[in-house]
Amino acid sequence: MDGDGATLANLLREERRFPPPSGLAAAANAGADAFAAADADGEAFWAAAAARLEWAEPWTQVLDWSRAPFARWFTGGRLNVAANCLDRHVRDGLGDRVAFHWEGEPGDTRTLTYADLKDEVCRAANALLSLGVRAGDRVALYMPMIPETVVAMLACARIGAPHTVVFGGFSADALRGRVLDCDARVVITADGGYRKGAASALKPAVDEALEACPDVRSVLVVRRTGQDVAWTEGRDVWWHDLVAAQPAEHEPEAFDSEHPLYIMYTSGTTARPKGILHTSGGYLTQVAWSHWAVFDVKPEQDVYWTAADIGWVTGHSYIVYGPLANGVTSVLYEGTPDTPHQGRWWEIVQKYGVTILYCAPTAIRTFMKWGEEIPARFDLSSLRLLGSVGEPINPEAWIWYRQAIGSDRCPVVDTWWQTETGAHMISPLPSVATLKPGSALRPLPGIHADVVDDTGKPVPNGSGGYLVLTRPWPSMLRTIWGDEQRYIDTYWSRFPGWYFAGDGAKKDEDGDIWLLGRVDDVMNVSGHRISTTEVESALVSHPRVAEAAVVGAADATTGQGIVAFVILRGGAGGDGSTGDALATELRAHVAKEIGPIARPRQILVVAELPKTRSGKIMRRLLRDVAENRELGDVTTLTDSSVMDAIRDGLPAAA
Ligand code: WT7
């Protein structure tokens, strides 16, 4: 939140208001009645939301909070998540409804109905069983954006084997760390996927990662690109050999409501990513309810598109579990927005008649840069609702999204949530909310949030502080995989009894919430969470780097950009210039260690780093430098001349 005073003042001067379109309000899935119900009886509200699902055994208790902060929702209830997403729709006569219009980057397409998807998932479930996977075993996925990724996730869910999907843009090292942390014994991958007009390999990273994972016994490989792959006999199996040969019948077993559904790794404030554990009944309840209420989906009519990668929680909740639980038709797109041309997304909207689009502000700002004449070439009249997620959306991007994409007609819902929350938490309900560009407004029905000061006291309207969630919610993380203490320390210790989100926020004069970004050492680059310490440890693993400090600096397109200050070994450098070759090498090194999304925007060589007397790097000051601002308070530095030296040594453009 440092240095954001001016931004914040600007934000709160934003006075444009957009009341709900009357047509939407009249036919909405949820509105004022939902708030009234949740306020009257929160548990009854969530019980009604859970009743939208199919349970093999009813629950005996809605919420068990007796071992707080370890929550149990719908205790005693049993269900099968995959059967809720597929079988019940097929049984209800919706087998012919399209589940996914899949569009490959090169232009190849596949259409999967709910019946098709169910058959494929049953075959894949049988295939996993044949590989010895049993309920409770973890399965890692490292996949491109193809239908088999959805199939593999649901097959895991169907047999009760928690999946951990590792974003295909992550490195072999990152994959290895995750496979080892959750002790996965089976990995599902593909030869590669298409990105930016070319086949991009995945299998080599799996092979490299597994050199140090002796317990992985099987690798199931989808053929997507047809590129050559190295093959480990006895371990590697082609998907088309194994899965296609399986029967399309599989009887789903009902699992306990608290049975683990998946682990999603996310960056925290240390170098080691946290395995966020989500379970079954509560997760599916809130994901399905929020998808239905926030996007007002009408399964018979809508064509829904979350333009995000399945490797992130957005893809889990709002490409796979939410839309399928609601029986909705979705678009799934493999590639990048500018391949083969910058109108690709809009061409897809026009082709499939997309009605609801959900994406990140960083994409919107990129489209703004490319120019509104590009979407203007396509027929976007099918759109009726737009969503934003992943980072604060600045009012200008919000307005552009509404006007250039939404013809000044479509409401924009700004949805605040996290990997940890599993589902939307703070967001307008489009049927009732008067929208304010840049604000996520209020907690959804059944959700309780507040903004508090340092001492944990709620701030008055018009003031800022830390965002907390004051009551448990059904799709909340249950723990950090294998580390209950870290779960308690990270989320429940800063303000005892309340969940600390790690975000700064402000309540405006009406009590509406404006999210201001992270208050910890976590950066948000293009809507992706990256920890400063993770990038620092990648940098110091390079032989030329002695010490590194990394900050997220404001970036017009990506939200934040990664700026690294490094001290070289042997005292080299210190004049602020790194020699382009070394900077390029260090940037590439980080991309290799973590993944291209973590590649620093800028590397600056310095002679010293600003530290407090207790040895903590003062990133706040480095952020001031990176963002070209006057320095804040330097009195706690051991040596205040360090900052002068850094500033004096930098190239003028830094
Ligand atoms: C962090 C969570 C939620 C799925 C994608 C990211 C930021 C997310 C918003 C929003 C302002 C937002 C927060 C949060 N964030 N949505 N609408 N407005 N900030 O999930 O990787 O777990 O990141 O993203 O800083 O803490 P994630």
Shortest-distance Cα residue to atom 14 of ligand 1: 418
pLDDT given at position 3: 41
- The residue-averaged pLDDT of 124-148 equals 98
Evaluate whether 425 touches 469 at the Cβ level (below 8 Å).
yes
Q: Is 102 annotated as a binding residue?
A: no
- Phi/psi at 202 (5° precision): -120, -35
Given a cut of 60, whether residue 64 has pLDDT beyond it is: yes
Rounded CA-CA distance 338/601 in Å is 21
pLDDT given at position 619: 85
**Ligand 1 centroid, distance to 81 Cα (angstroms):** 25
Q: Choose which residue among 467, 503, 534 to substitute to test ligand 1 binding: the one with the highest number of ligand atoms within 8 A of its C-beta.
A: 503
**Ligand 1 centroid, distance to 224 Cα (angstroms):** 31
Which is higher by pLDDT, 396 or 270?
396
Rounded CA-CA distance 422/278 in Å is 7
Given a cut of 70, whether residue 642 has pLDDT beyond it is: yes
Per residue in 596-641, pLDDT tens?
Answer: 999 999 999 998 888 877 777 888 889 988 988 877 777 777 777 7
Shortest-distance Cα residue to atom 2 of ligand 1: 418
Task: Please say whether the dihedral angle defined by the alpha carbons of residues 464, 465, 471 and 474, taken in this order, is positive or negative.
Answer: positive
**Percent of the chain scoring above 70 in pLDDT:** 96
Per residue in 453-469, pLDDT tens?
Answer: 999 999 999 999 999 99
Whole-number Cα distances in Å, 130 to 133, 134, 185, 218, 598: 7, 10, 13, 11, 38
Per residue in 243-260, pLDDT tens?
Answer: 999 999 999 999 999 999
Nearest atom in ligand 1 to the alpha carbon of residue 416 is 17
Mean pLDDT of all residues belonging to the chain: 93
Give ligand 1 pocket residues (Cβ under 6 A). Answer: 266, 312-314, 389-392, 414-419, 440, 501-503, 515, 517-518, 524, 527, 529
Q: 498: exposed, middle or buried (C-beta count within 10 Å: 0-12, 13-18, 19+)?
A: buried
Structure tokens that stand for 478 in this block: 């249950």
Beta-sheet pairing, 303-306 with 499-507: unpaired
**Ligand 1 centroid, distance to 519 Cα (angstroms):** 12
Given a cut of 60, whether residue 331 has pLDDT beyond it is: yes
pLDDT given at position 574: 46
- When pLDDT is cut at 50, 70 and 90, the band that residue 647 belongs to is confident
Q: Choose which residue among 499, 529, 531, 534 to substitute to test ligand 1 binding: the one with the highest number of ligand atoms within 8 A of its C-beta.
A: 529
- The residue-averaged pLDDT of 355-374 equals 96
- The residue-averaged pLDDT of 360-389 equals 96
pLDDT given at position 187: 98
pLDDT given at position 208: 98
Rounded CA-CA distance 106/374 in Å is 20
Among 442, 511, 503, 516, smallest CA distance to 468 is for 503
**Ligand 1 centroid, distance to 416 Cα (angstroms):** 6
Q: Is 415 annotated as a binding residue?
A: yes
Nearest atom in ligand 1 to the alpha carbon of residue 415 is 17
Nearest atom in ligand 1 to the alpha carbon of residue 393 is 18
Per residue in 6-24, pLDDT tens?
Answer: 566 667 677 899 999 988 8
Q: Is 527 annotated as a binding residue?
A: no
- The residue-averaged pLDDT of 275-286 equals 98
Rounded CA-CA distance 477/481 in Å is 10
pLDDT given at position 152: 99
**Ligand 1 centroid, distance to 98 Cα (angstroms):** 30
Lowest pLDDT segment from 78-82, 279-283, 378-382, 542-546: 542-546
pLDDT given at position 271: 75
**Percent of the chain scoring above 90 in pLDDT:** 83
194, β-bridge pairs: 199
Given a cut of 70, whether residue 117 has pLDDT beyond it is: yes
Per residue in 524-546, pLDDT tens?
Answer: 999 888 989 889 989 989 999 98
- The residue-averaged pLDDT of 479-501 equals 97
Q: Is 542 annotated as a binding residue?
A: yes
Q: Is 465 annotated as a binding residue?
A: no
Which is higher by pLDDT, 222 or 638?
222
Please, what is the Cα angle at 377 between 353 and 358, to 5 degrees? 45
Per residue in 231-244, pLDDT tens?
Answer: 999 999 999 999 99
- Where residue 193 falls (left for φ over 0; alpha for ψ -120 to 50; beta otherwise) is beta
**Ligand 1 centroid, distance to 417 Cα (angstroms):** 5
Rounded CA-CA distance 586/600 in Å is 9
pLDDT given at position 1: 39
The distance of Cα 497 from the centroid of its chain, to the nearest Å, equals: 25
Beta-strand runs (E) in 132-243: 139-142, 163-165, 186-190, 192-195, 198-201, 218-222, 236-238
- The residue-averaged pLDDT of 93-114 equals 98
**Ligand 1 centroid, distance to 530 Cα (angstroms):** 12
- The residue-averaged pLDDT of 134-148 equals 98
The ipTM (two decimal places) reads: 0.99
pLDDT given at position 340: 97
- The residue-averaged pLDDT of 413-433 equals 98
pLDDT given at position 408: 96
